[in-house]
Chain A
Amino acid sequence: MELLKRQEKWDITYTHALGEVASWFFVQIRDNAKIYGRRCAKTGRVLVPPRAFSDQTLEPTTEWVEVGPGGRIETFTMVYEPFQHLPEPPYAFGFVQLDGADTAIGGFFKGVDLSDPAKAAEKLAIGTRVKTVFADKRVGDLIDFWFELA
Protein backbone atom coordinates (compact mmCIF):
# COMPACT_ATOMS: atom_id res chain seq x y z
CA MET A 1 0.00 0.00 0.00
CA GLU A 2 0.98 3.63 -0.33
CA LEU A 3 2.80 4.78 2.83
CA LEU A 4 2.71 8.49 3.54
CA LYS A 5 5.33 10.63 5.29
CA ARG A 6 4.80 14.06 6.75
CA GLN A 7 7.61 16.57 6.71
CA GLU A 8 7.72 19.45 9.16
CA LYS A 9 10.12 22.32 9.52
CA TRP A 10 9.91 24.46 12.63
CA ASP A 11 11.19 28.00 12.81
CA ILE A 12 11.39 28.99 16.47
CA THR A 13 13.75 31.60 17.87
CA TYR A 14 15.18 31.46 21.40
CA THR A 15 16.74 34.46 23.11
CA HIS A 16 19.02 33.16 25.86
CA ALA A 17 20.21 35.35 28.74
CA LEU A 18 23.97 35.01 29.19
CA GLY A 19 24.07 36.34 32.76
CA GLU A 20 26.66 38.73 34.20
CA VAL A 21 29.70 36.45 34.00
CA ALA A 22 29.38 35.33 30.39
CA SER A 23 28.29 38.84 29.38
CA TRP A 24 31.44 40.43 30.87
CA PHE A 25 33.60 37.72 29.27
CA PHE A 26 32.21 38.34 25.78
CA VAL A 27 32.28 42.14 26.18
CA GLN A 28 36.02 41.92 26.98
CA ILE A 29 36.54 39.81 23.87
CA ARG A 30 34.50 42.21 21.74
CA ASP A 31 35.90 45.52 23.06
CA ASN A 32 39.43 44.67 24.20
CA ALA A 33 40.39 41.41 22.45
CA LYS A 34 41.21 39.81 25.78
CA ILE A 35 40.14 36.48 27.31
CA TYR A 36 39.46 36.17 31.00
CA GLY A 37 38.71 33.26 33.31
CA ARG A 38 37.14 33.12 36.74
CA ARG A 39 39.07 31.90 39.77
CA CYS A 40 37.56 29.52 42.30
CA ALA A 41 38.74 30.88 45.67
CA LYS A 42 38.55 27.48 47.30
CA THR A 43 40.79 25.58 44.87
CA GLY A 44 42.53 28.43 43.03
CA ARG A 45 41.54 26.89 39.71
CA VAL A 46 40.90 29.35 36.89
CA LEU A 47 37.86 28.31 34.86
CA VAL A 48 37.79 29.16 31.16
CA PRO A 49 35.11 29.51 29.83
CA PRO A 50 34.26 31.51 32.95
CA ARG A 51 31.54 30.40 35.28
CA ALA A 52 29.82 32.15 38.16
CA PHE A 53 30.41 29.06 40.29
CA SER A 54 32.65 26.01 40.22
CA ASP A 55 30.76 22.82 39.45
CA GLN A 56 33.38 20.93 41.49
CA THR A 57 33.24 22.93 44.73
CA LEU A 58 29.86 24.61 44.15
CA GLU A 59 31.47 27.80 45.53
CA PRO A 60 30.94 31.09 43.71
CA THR A 61 34.00 32.15 41.70
CA THR A 62 35.47 35.41 43.01
CA GLU A 63 37.96 36.96 40.63
CA TRP A 64 38.60 37.67 36.95
CA VAL A 65 42.01 36.49 35.67
CA GLU A 66 43.32 37.32 32.21
CA VAL A 67 44.50 34.19 30.39
CA GLY A 68 46.34 33.48 27.13
CA PRO A 69 46.90 34.60 24.44
CA GLY A 70 49.24 31.60 24.27
CA GLY A 71 48.06 28.09 25.04
CA ARG A 72 48.39 24.38 24.45
CA ILE A 73 46.21 22.08 22.33
CA GLU A 74 44.38 19.65 24.63
CA THR A 75 42.49 17.85 21.87
CA PHE A 76 41.34 18.49 18.32
CA THR A 77 39.53 17.01 15.35
CA MET A 78 39.11 17.83 11.69
CA VAL A 79 35.53 18.00 10.45
CA TYR A 80 34.62 16.92 6.92
CA GLU A 81 30.82 17.21 7.24
CA PRO A 82 28.85 20.41 6.60
CA PHE A 83 26.74 21.93 9.38
CA GLN A 84 24.15 24.66 9.19
CA HIS A 85 25.49 28.12 10.08
CA LEU A 86 29.09 26.86 10.33
CA PRO A 87 32.07 27.28 8.00
CA GLU A 88 32.46 25.17 4.86
CA PRO A 89 34.33 21.97 5.72
CA PRO A 90 36.99 20.87 6.12
CA TYR A 91 38.03 22.77 9.21
CA ALA A 92 39.72 21.93 12.49
CA PHE A 93 38.45 22.65 15.96
CA GLY A 94 39.21 21.49 19.46
CA PHE A 95 40.06 22.59 22.96
CA VAL A 96 42.96 24.76 24.11
CA GLN A 97 44.20 25.34 27.63
CA LEU A 98 45.20 28.99 27.61
CA ASP A 99 48.18 30.05 29.71
CA GLY A 100 46.98 30.72 33.24
CA ALA A 101 43.81 28.63 32.87
CA ASP A 102 43.06 25.26 34.46
CA THR A 103 40.38 24.18 31.98
CA ALA A 104 40.31 24.25 28.19
CA ILE A 105 38.12 26.37 25.91
CA GLY A 106 36.73 25.25 22.56
CA GLY A 107 37.57 27.06 19.37
CA PHE A 108 38.55 26.72 15.72
CA PHE A 109 42.11 26.22 14.48
CA LYS A 110 43.11 28.20 11.42
CA GLY A 111 46.19 28.53 9.22
CA VAL A 112 46.82 24.78 8.86
CA ASP A 113 46.43 23.11 5.46
CA LEU A 114 43.87 20.32 5.96
CA SER A 115 44.10 18.77 2.49
CA ASP A 116 46.31 15.99 3.86
CA PRO A 117 44.71 14.92 7.18
CA ALA A 118 47.75 12.97 8.39
CA LYS A 119 50.10 15.92 7.88
CA ALA A 120 47.63 18.35 9.40
CA ALA A 121 47.21 16.04 12.40
CA GLU A 122 50.95 16.15 13.02
CA LYS A 123 50.90 19.95 13.02
CA LEU A 124 47.94 20.05 15.41
CA ALA A 125 49.30 17.32 17.69
CA ILE A 126 48.08 17.44 21.27
CA GLY A 127 50.50 19.48 23.35
CA THR A 128 51.34 21.86 20.49
CA ARG A 129 51.65 25.55 21.42
CA VAL A 130 49.14 27.90 19.83
CA LYS A 131 48.28 31.59 20.06
CA THR A 132 44.88 33.26 20.15
CA VAL A 133 44.09 35.44 17.15
CA PHE A 134 41.19 37.93 17.24
CA ALA A 135 39.03 39.03 14.35
CA ASP A 136 39.28 42.72 13.41
CA LYS A 137 35.51 43.08 13.60
CA ARG A 138 34.18 41.43 16.75
CA VAL A 139 30.57 40.82 17.81
CA GLY A 140 30.98 39.35 21.29
CA ASP A 141 30.79 35.67 20.47
CA LEU A 142 33.02 32.61 20.33
CA ILE A 143 33.78 33.18 16.65
CA ASP A 144 35.58 36.46 17.49
CA PHE A 145 38.78 34.49 18.06
CA TRP A 146 40.53 31.35 16.89
CA PHE A 147 43.84 29.60 17.39
CA GLU A 148 46.90 29.49 15.15
CA LEU A 149 50.19 27.65 15.61
CA ALA A 150 52.53 29.72 17.78
Chain B
Amino acid sequence: MGLNRKTAVIGSAILAPIAGDGQSLEEVLYEVSQRALKDAGLSMDDIDGIVVGSNDQFDGRAISIMAASGSVGGVDRDILSTPSAGEHAFVMGVLRIASGQYETHLIVSWSPLEVSSLSEAQRLGADPYFHRRLPLDEASAYALQAAALGAAAPVAHQLAMPIVERSRESGAVAGHDPSALPEDESAGNARWPLRDGMIAKATSGAVALVIASEDYVREHAVDNPAWVRGMGWATEAAFLGDRDLSTAPALEEAARRAYEEAGIGDPGSAFDLVEITGVTPYQELIAYDALGLSRRDAWKEDVEKGRFTRTGQLPVNPSGGAVALNPVFCTGLMRIAEAARQIRGTAGKHQIENAKLALAHAASGMAMMYQTVLIFGNQQEGGRS
Protein backbone atom coordinates (compact mmCIF):
# COMPACT_ATOMS: atom_id res chain seq x y z
CA MET B 1 0.00 0.00 0.00
CA GLY B 2 1.30 3.43 -0.84
CA LEU B 3 1.94 6.11 1.72
CA ASN B 4 -0.59 8.89 2.24
CA ARG B 5 1.93 11.55 1.51
CA LYS B 6 4.90 11.57 -0.84
CA THR B 7 8.45 12.31 0.29
CA ALA B 8 11.50 13.33 -1.72
CA VAL B 9 15.24 13.53 -1.16
CA ILE B 10 16.25 17.15 -1.69
CA GLY B 11 19.85 17.15 -0.46
CA SER B 12 22.67 14.83 0.52
CA ALA B 13 26.30 14.60 1.57
CA ILE B 14 28.68 11.65 1.56
CA LEU B 15 32.01 11.69 3.40
CA ALA B 16 33.80 8.39 2.78
CA PRO B 17 36.48 7.75 3.72
CA ILE B 18 36.71 10.45 6.37
CA ALA B 19 40.06 12.08 5.70
CA GLY B 20 42.78 11.97 8.34
CA ASP B 21 42.51 12.47 12.09
CA GLY B 22 41.79 16.18 12.00
CA GLN B 23 38.20 15.83 13.17
CA SER B 24 36.53 14.15 16.13
CA LEU B 25 33.43 12.08 15.38
CA GLU B 26 31.20 14.97 16.50
CA GLU B 27 32.99 17.31 14.10
CA VAL B 28 32.51 14.84 11.23
CA LEU B 29 28.78 14.60 12.00
CA TYR B 30 28.52 18.37 12.12
CA GLU B 31 30.26 18.68 8.76
CA VAL B 32 28.25 16.00 6.94
CA SER B 33 24.96 17.43 8.25
CA GLN B 34 25.85 21.00 7.31
CA ARG B 35 26.92 19.87 3.84
CA ALA B 36 23.63 18.02 3.26
CA LEU B 37 21.67 21.08 4.40
CA LYS B 38 23.70 23.29 2.08
CA ASP B 39 23.08 20.88 -0.81
CA ALA B 40 19.35 21.19 -0.10
CA GLY B 41 19.57 24.96 0.23
CA LEU B 42 18.17 24.74 3.77
CA SER B 43 19.36 25.75 7.20
CA MET B 44 18.83 23.81 10.41
CA ASP B 45 15.89 26.08 11.24
CA ASP B 46 14.04 24.52 8.29
CA ILE B 47 14.36 20.98 9.72
CA ASP B 48 11.48 19.53 11.77
CA GLY B 49 13.01 16.26 12.88
CA ILE B 50 16.13 14.10 12.76
CA VAL B 51 16.67 10.35 12.59
CA VAL B 52 20.16 8.92 12.99
CA GLY B 53 21.46 5.37 12.53
CA SER B 54 24.67 4.29 14.21
CA ASN B 55 26.41 1.35 15.82
CA ASP B 56 27.44 1.63 19.46
CA GLN B 57 30.11 -1.08 19.15
CA PHE B 58 31.84 0.72 16.27
CA ASP B 59 31.48 4.15 17.90
CA GLY B 60 32.86 2.94 21.22
CA ARG B 61 30.04 4.74 22.99
CA ALA B 62 26.87 3.41 24.48
CA ILE B 63 23.77 5.11 23.06
CA SER B 64 25.83 6.78 20.38
CA ILE B 65 23.08 9.30 19.66
CA MET B 66 24.77 11.12 22.54
CA ALA B 67 27.52 12.01 20.09
CA ALA B 68 25.00 13.18 17.53
CA SER B 69 22.39 15.17 19.37
CA GLY B 70 24.44 18.35 19.41
CA SER B 71 26.45 17.91 16.24
CA VAL B 72 23.60 17.21 13.82
CA GLY B 73 21.28 19.84 15.28
CA GLY B 74 19.26 17.78 17.74
CA VAL B 75 19.35 20.22 20.64
CA ASP B 76 15.76 21.27 21.40
CA ARG B 77 14.58 19.31 18.34
CA ASP B 78 12.88 16.00 17.70
CA ILE B 79 15.65 13.40 17.22
CA LEU B 80 15.38 9.60 17.15
CA SER B 81 18.10 6.97 16.84
CA THR B 82 18.18 3.44 15.47
CA PRO B 83 21.05 1.00 16.05
CA SER B 84 19.83 -1.58 13.50
CA ALA B 85 20.94 0.03 10.23
CA GLY B 86 21.56 3.41 8.63
CA GLU B 87 18.88 2.64 6.02
CA HIS B 88 16.35 2.11 8.80
CA ALA B 89 16.91 5.74 9.80
CA PHE B 90 15.87 6.70 6.26
CA VAL B 91 12.77 4.47 6.34
CA MET B 92 11.75 5.96 9.68
CA GLY B 93 12.23 9.49 8.38
CA VAL B 94 10.03 8.84 5.32
CA LEU B 95 7.32 7.34 7.53
CA ARG B 96 7.44 10.32 9.89
CA ILE B 97 6.94 12.74 7.01
CA ALA B 98 4.13 10.56 5.66
CA SER B 99 2.47 10.84 9.08
CA GLY B 100 1.76 14.47 8.31
CA GLN B 101 3.43 15.70 11.48
CA TYR B 102 6.67 16.76 9.78
CA GLU B 103 7.59 18.61 6.57
CA THR B 104 11.34 18.01 6.58
CA HIS B 105 13.85 15.59 8.09
CA LEU B 106 17.58 15.20 8.35
CA ILE B 107 18.85 11.58 8.16
CA VAL B 108 22.40 10.82 9.26
CA SER B 109 24.41 7.61 9.58
CA TRP B 110 28.09 7.11 10.27
CA SER B 111 30.75 4.46 10.69
CA PRO B 112 34.11 5.36 12.26
CA LEU B 113 37.20 3.14 12.27
CA GLU B 114 38.20 3.73 15.87
CA VAL B 115 37.82 0.24 17.34
CA SER B 116 40.86 -2.03 17.51
CA SER B 117 39.02 -4.70 15.50
CA LEU B 118 35.69 -4.33 13.68
CA SER B 119 35.48 -8.12 13.67
CA GLU B 120 35.65 -8.36 17.45
CA ALA B 121 33.09 -5.56 17.79
CA GLN B 122 30.74 -7.29 15.35
CA ARG B 123 30.87 -10.49 17.39
CA LEU B 124 28.91 -8.66 20.08
CA GLY B 125 25.95 -8.91 17.70
CA ALA B 126 25.74 -12.68 18.19
CA ASP B 127 23.72 -14.13 21.07
CA PRO B 128 25.86 -15.12 24.08
CA TYR B 129 24.32 -18.62 24.34
CA PHE B 130 24.84 -20.50 21.09
CA HIS B 131 26.90 -18.30 18.75
CA ARG B 132 29.28 -16.11 20.76
CA ARG B 133 31.84 -18.92 20.91
CA LEU B 134 32.14 -18.91 17.12
CA PRO B 135 34.23 -16.50 15.01
CA LEU B 136 30.97 -15.03 13.79
CA ASP B 137 31.78 -11.56 12.51
CA GLU B 138 30.37 -10.07 9.31
CA ALA B 139 33.21 -11.47 7.18
CA SER B 140 32.51 -15.00 8.42
CA ALA B 141 28.81 -14.54 7.72
CA TYR B 142 29.65 -13.28 4.21
CA ALA B 143 31.81 -16.36 3.65
CA LEU B 144 29.18 -18.80 4.94
CA GLN B 145 26.72 -17.12 2.59
CA ALA B 146 29.15 -17.29 -0.35
CA ALA B 147 29.82 -20.98 0.30
CA ALA B 148 26.07 -21.70 0.43
CA LEU B 149 25.50 -19.82 -2.82
CA GLY B 150 28.45 -21.53 -4.50
CA ALA B 151 26.98 -24.94 -3.63
CA ALA B 152 23.50 -24.02 -4.86
CA ALA B 153 24.73 -22.18 -7.97
CA PRO B 154 28.38 -23.06 -8.78
CA VAL B 155 28.48 -20.38 -11.50
CA ALA B 156 28.70 -17.83 -8.65
CA HIS B 157 32.38 -18.69 -8.10
CA GLN B 158 33.05 -18.03 -11.78
CA LEU B 159 31.24 -14.66 -11.78
CA ALA B 160 32.68 -13.32 -8.53
CA MET B 161 35.83 -11.73 -9.93
CA PRO B 162 34.17 -10.27 -13.07
CA ILE B 163 31.68 -8.52 -10.73
CA VAL B 164 34.53 -7.23 -8.56
CA GLU B 165 36.37 -5.93 -11.63
CA ARG B 166 33.30 -4.14 -12.99
CA SER B 167 32.65 -2.57 -9.57
CA ARG B 168 36.23 -1.31 -9.30
CA GLU B 169 36.15 0.13 -12.81
CA SER B 170 32.97 2.03 -11.88
CA GLY B 171 34.53 3.08 -8.57
CA ALA B 172 37.47 4.53 -10.48
CA VAL B 173 35.08 6.52 -12.71
CA ALA B 174 33.35 7.77 -9.56
CA GLY B 175 36.73 8.93 -8.29
CA HIS B 176 36.76 6.81 -5.14
CA ASP B 177 39.95 6.72 -3.14
CA PRO B 178 41.49 3.38 -4.25
CA SER B 179 43.57 2.99 -1.07
CA ALA B 180 41.00 0.61 0.42
CA LEU B 181 41.28 -1.79 -2.49
CA PRO B 182 43.47 -4.87 -2.04
CA GLU B 183 46.52 -4.71 -4.28
CA ASP B 184 46.81 -8.39 -5.05
CA GLU B 185 43.50 -9.87 -6.08
CA SER B 186 44.80 -13.41 -5.83
CA ALA B 187 46.21 -12.90 -2.34
CA GLY B 188 45.11 -15.09 0.49
CA ASN B 189 41.81 -16.32 1.77
CA ALA B 190 40.23 -13.85 4.15
CA ARG B 191 37.56 -16.44 4.79
CA TRP B 192 37.18 -19.23 2.29
CA PRO B 193 35.68 -18.95 -0.39
CA LEU B 194 36.18 -15.20 -0.19
CA ARG B 195 39.61 -14.00 -1.22
CA ASP B 196 41.17 -10.84 0.17
CA GLY B 197 40.97 -9.35 -3.30
CA MET B 198 37.18 -9.63 -3.41
CA ILE B 199 36.37 -7.35 -0.49
CA ALA B 200 37.20 -3.68 -0.02
CA LYS B 201 38.89 -2.92 3.29
CA ALA B 202 36.53 -1.22 5.67
CA THR B 203 36.72 2.56 5.52
CA SER B 204 35.25 5.27 7.72
CA GLY B 205 32.27 7.20 6.46
CA ALA B 206 29.34 9.47 7.17
CA VAL B 207 26.22 10.04 5.07
CA ALA B 208 23.46 12.62 5.48
CA LEU B 209 20.26 13.22 3.54
CA VAL B 210 17.61 15.90 3.69
CA ILE B 211 14.08 14.74 2.86
CA ALA B 212 10.91 16.79 2.50
CA SER B 213 7.18 16.32 2.04
CA GLU B 214 5.39 16.86 -1.26
CA ASP B 215 3.83 19.99 0.26
CA TYR B 216 7.22 21.40 1.18
CA VAL B 217 8.66 20.60 -2.27
CA ARG B 218 5.71 22.35 -3.96
CA GLU B 219 5.58 25.38 -1.69
CA HIS B 220 9.33 25.99 -1.94
CA ALA B 221 9.61 25.06 -5.64
CA VAL B 222 12.48 22.66 -4.86
CA ASP B 223 14.59 21.78 -7.91
CA ASN B 224 15.19 18.15 -8.89
CA PRO B 225 13.62 16.26 -5.99
CA ALA B 226 14.19 12.48 -5.97
CA TRP B 227 10.75 11.15 -5.09
CA VAL B 228 10.40 8.07 -2.94
CA ARG B 229 8.18 6.02 -5.24
CA GLY B 230 8.28 2.77 -3.33
CA MET B 231 9.75 1.40 -0.13
CA GLY B 232 9.91 -2.02 1.50
CA TRP B 233 11.91 -3.65 4.25
CA ALA B 234 11.96 -7.04 5.96
CA THR B 235 14.09 -9.06 8.35
CA GLU B 236 15.31 -12.66 8.39
CA ALA B 237 15.87 -15.04 11.30
CA ALA B 238 18.76 -14.06 13.56
CA PHE B 239 20.20 -17.60 13.72
CA LEU B 240 22.12 -18.29 10.50
CA GLY B 241 21.39 -22.01 10.84
CA ASP B 242 17.67 -21.30 10.43
CA ARG B 243 18.21 -19.76 6.99
CA ASP B 244 19.05 -20.96 3.49
CA LEU B 245 21.90 -18.51 3.01
CA SER B 246 21.87 -18.90 -0.78
CA THR B 247 18.51 -17.13 -0.92
CA ALA B 248 17.14 -13.86 0.42
CA PRO B 249 13.43 -14.18 1.20
CA ALA B 250 13.43 -10.95 3.21
CA LEU B 251 14.74 -9.10 0.17
CA GLU B 252 12.06 -10.69 -2.00
CA GLU B 253 9.46 -9.44 0.46
CA ALA B 254 11.02 -5.97 0.68
CA ALA B 255 11.10 -5.77 -3.13
CA ARG B 256 7.53 -7.02 -3.45
CA ARG B 257 6.31 -4.23 -1.20
CA ALA B 258 8.39 -1.57 -2.92
CA TYR B 259 7.38 -2.71 -6.42
CA GLU B 260 3.72 -2.82 -5.48
CA GLU B 261 3.83 0.74 -4.15
CA ALA B 262 5.77 2.01 -7.19
CA GLY B 263 3.68 0.04 -9.70
CA ILE B 264 6.69 -1.89 -11.02
CA GLY B 265 5.61 -4.94 -13.04
CA ASP B 266 8.88 -5.97 -14.66
CA PRO B 267 11.83 -4.94 -12.48
CA GLY B 268 14.31 -6.26 -15.07
CA SER B 269 13.43 -3.45 -17.48
CA ALA B 270 12.04 -0.78 -15.13
CA PHE B 271 15.15 1.03 -13.88
CA ASP B 272 17.77 3.32 -15.34
CA LEU B 273 20.22 2.11 -12.70
CA VAL B 274 20.32 0.20 -9.44
CA GLU B 275 22.57 0.57 -6.41
CA ILE B 276 22.98 -2.79 -4.66
CA THR B 277 24.56 -3.43 -1.27
CA GLY B 278 26.88 -6.29 -2.12
CA VAL B 279 29.84 -6.24 0.21
CA THR B 280 30.87 -9.40 -1.63
CA PRO B 281 30.08 -10.25 -5.26
CA TYR B 282 28.09 -13.22 -3.94
CA GLN B 283 25.73 -10.84 -2.15
CA GLU B 284 25.27 -8.91 -5.37
CA LEU B 285 24.27 -12.13 -7.18
CA ILE B 286 21.80 -13.05 -4.43
CA ALA B 287 20.31 -9.57 -4.75
CA TYR B 288 19.96 -9.84 -8.56
CA ASP B 289 17.77 -12.87 -8.03
CA ALA B 290 15.73 -11.63 -5.08
CA LEU B 291 15.10 -8.25 -6.74
CA GLY B 292 13.97 -9.99 -9.92
CA LEU B 293 16.65 -8.22 -11.98
CA SER B 294 18.37 -11.39 -13.19
CA ARG B 295 17.46 -14.94 -12.23
CA ARG B 296 20.13 -17.51 -11.44
CA ASP B 297 19.98 -19.11 -14.88
CA ALA B 298 20.57 -15.72 -16.53
CA TRP B 299 23.47 -14.54 -14.29
CA LYS B 300 26.25 -15.83 -16.51
CA GLU B 301 24.99 -14.25 -19.70
CA ASP B 302 24.00 -10.99 -18.00
CA VAL B 303 27.36 -10.57 -16.24
CA GLU B 304 29.56 -11.72 -19.11
CA LYS B 305 27.71 -9.75 -21.79
CA GLY B 306 27.99 -6.53 -19.78
CA ARG B 307 24.31 -5.96 -19.06
CA PHE B 308 25.22 -4.37 -15.70
CA THR B 309 28.11 -2.12 -16.76
CA ARG B 310 27.59 1.64 -16.60
CA THR B 311 26.87 1.67 -20.34
CA GLY B 312 24.89 -1.58 -20.27
CA GLN B 313 21.13 -2.07 -20.35
CA LEU B 314 20.85 -1.94 -16.55
CA PRO B 315 23.80 -0.18 -14.87
CA VAL B 316 24.46 -1.78 -11.46
CA ASN B 317 26.39 0.29 -8.92
CA PRO B 318 27.66 3.12 -11.12
CA SER B 319 29.16 4.39 -7.85
CA GLY B 320 31.29 1.24 -7.65
CA GLY B 321 29.19 -0.12 -4.81
CA ALA B 322 30.44 -1.63 -1.58
CA VAL B 323 33.06 -3.74 -3.37
CA ALA B 324 34.83 -0.50 -4.35
CA LEU B 325 34.22 1.43 -1.12
CA ASN B 326 32.77 0.03 2.08
CA PRO B 327 32.05 2.43 4.94
CA VAL B 328 30.63 -0.47 6.92
CA PHE B 329 27.64 0.74 8.90
CA CYS B 330 26.59 3.49 6.49
CA THR B 331 27.08 1.50 3.27
CA GLY B 332 23.32 0.92 2.96
CA LEU B 333 22.44 4.59 3.43
CA MET B 334 25.18 5.42 0.94
CA ARG B 335 23.40 3.30 -1.72
CA ILE B 336 20.22 5.26 -0.99
CA ALA B 337 22.07 8.57 -1.27
CA GLU B 338 23.75 7.48 -4.52
CA ALA B 339 20.48 6.40 -6.16
CA ALA B 340 18.75 9.63 -5.09
CA ARG B 341 21.64 11.69 -6.47
CA GLN B 342 21.38 9.92 -9.82
CA ILE B 343 17.72 10.92 -10.01
CA ARG B 344 18.53 14.48 -8.97
CA GLY B 345 21.27 14.60 -11.62
CA THR B 346 23.89 15.38 -8.98
CA ALA B 347 25.82 12.09 -8.91
CA GLY B 348 28.93 13.75 -10.33
CA LYS B 349 31.48 11.92 -12.46
CA HIS B 350 29.45 8.69 -12.46
CA GLN B 351 26.11 10.29 -13.34
CA ILE B 352 23.97 8.04 -15.56
CA GLU B 353 22.55 10.37 -18.17
CA ASN B 354 18.85 11.09 -17.97
CA ALA B 355 18.22 8.75 -15.00
CA LYS B 356 14.50 8.81 -14.21
CA LEU B 357 13.86 5.74 -12.08
CA ALA B 358 16.41 4.10 -9.79
CA LEU B 359 16.44 1.36 -7.20
CA ALA B 360 18.52 1.37 -4.03
CA HIS B 361 19.05 -1.84 -2.09
CA ALA B 362 20.43 -1.72 1.43
CA ALA B 363 21.39 -4.74 3.51
CA SER B 364 22.74 -4.93 7.04
CA GLY B 365 23.31 -7.43 9.80
CA MET B 366 24.71 -10.93 9.56
CA ALA B 367 24.56 -12.18 5.94
CA MET B 368 22.04 -9.50 4.88
CA MET B 369 19.65 -10.12 7.75
CA TYR B 370 17.95 -6.73 7.28
CA GLN B 371 16.85 -5.98 3.73
CA THR B 372 15.56 -2.63 2.48
CA VAL B 373 14.50 -1.47 -0.98
CA LEU B 374 13.90 2.12 -2.07
CA ILE B 375 12.70 3.23 -5.49
CA PHE B 376 13.36 6.82 -6.52
CA GLY B 377 11.81 8.65 -9.46
CA ASN B 378 12.13 12.11 -10.95
CA GLN B 379 8.33 12.30 -11.10
CA GLN B 380 6.05 12.17 -8.08
CA GLU B 381 3.78 9.65 -9.82
CA GLY B 382 3.51 7.80 -13.13
CA GLY B 383 5.92 5.82 -15.28
CA ARG B 384 9.57 6.23 -16.21
CA SER B 385 9.11 8.45 -19.26
Binding site for B on A (CB under 8 A): 3, 5, 8, 14, 16, 18, 22, 47-49, 55, 74-81, 83-84, 86, 91, 93-95, 97, 103-108, 117, 120-121, 125-127, 141-143
Contact of B245 with A by CB under 8 A: yes
| Contact indicator B241/A104 (Cβ below 8 Å) | yes
Binding site for A on B (CB under 8 A): 20-22, 60, 119-120, 123, 128-131, 133-137, 139-140, 143-145, 147-148, 151, 188-194, 237-242, 245
- Asked if A83 meets B131 with Cβ closer than 8 Å, knowing A75-B148, A104-B241, A121-B192, the reply is no
| Contact indicator B134/A93 (Cβ below 8 Å) | yes
The chain A residue sitting closest to B151, CB to CB, is A126
Residue in A77, A83, A91 whose CB lies within 8 Å of B143: A77
A104 to B237, alpha carbons, bound, how many Å? 12
- Asked if A77 meets B144 with Cβ closer than 8 Å, knowing A3-B22, A121-B192, the reply is yes
Q: Min CB distance, B170 to chain A, in Å?
A: 28
| Contact indicator B133/A142 (Cβ below 8 Å) | yes
| Contact indicator B134/A106 (Cβ below 8 Å) | yes
Q: Which residues of B contact A108 (CB under 8 A)?
A: 134
| Contact indicator B130/A142 (Cβ below 8 Å) | yes
- Asked if A77 meets B147 with Cβ closer than 8 Å, knowing A83-B135, A93-B134, A103-B241, the reply is yes
Residue in A8, A95, A127, A143 whose CB lies within 8 Å of B60: A8
| Contact indicator A49/B239 (Cβ below 8 Å) | yes
Q: Which residues of B contact A83 (CB under 8 A)?
A: 119-120, 123, 135, 137
The chain A residue sitting closest to B22, CB to CB, is A3
Q: Min CB distance, B311 to chain A, in Å?
A: 36
| Contact indicator A106/B130 (Cβ below 8 Å) | yes
Residue in A75, A93, A105 whose CB lies within 8 Å of B135: A93
Residue in B20, B129, B147 whose CB lies within 8 Å of A76: B147
A142 to B237, alpha carbons, bound, how many Å? 20
Residue in A3, A95, A104, A127 whose CB lies within 8 Å of B21: A3
| Contact indicator B133/A95 (Cβ below 8 Å) | no
- Asked if A106 meets B193 with Cβ closer than 8 Å, knowing A5-B21, A22-B129, the reply is no
Q: Which residues of B contact A16 (CB under 8 A)?
A: 128-129
| Contact indicator A103/B190 (Cβ below 8 Å) | no
Q: Min CB distance, B123 to chain A, in Å?
A: 7
Q: Which residues of B contact A18 (CB under 8 A)?
A: 129
Q: Which residues of A contact B239 (CB under 8 A)?
A: 49, 103
The chain A residue sitting closest to B191, CB to CB, is A77
A94 to B21, alpha carbons, bound, how many Å? 38
Shortest Cβ-Cβ A-B pairs, 9 listed: A104-B241, A77-B143, A126-B151, A78-B192, A49-B130, A142-B133, A75-B148, A95-B241, A75-B144
Q: Which residues of A contact B128 (CB under 8 A)?
A: 14, 16
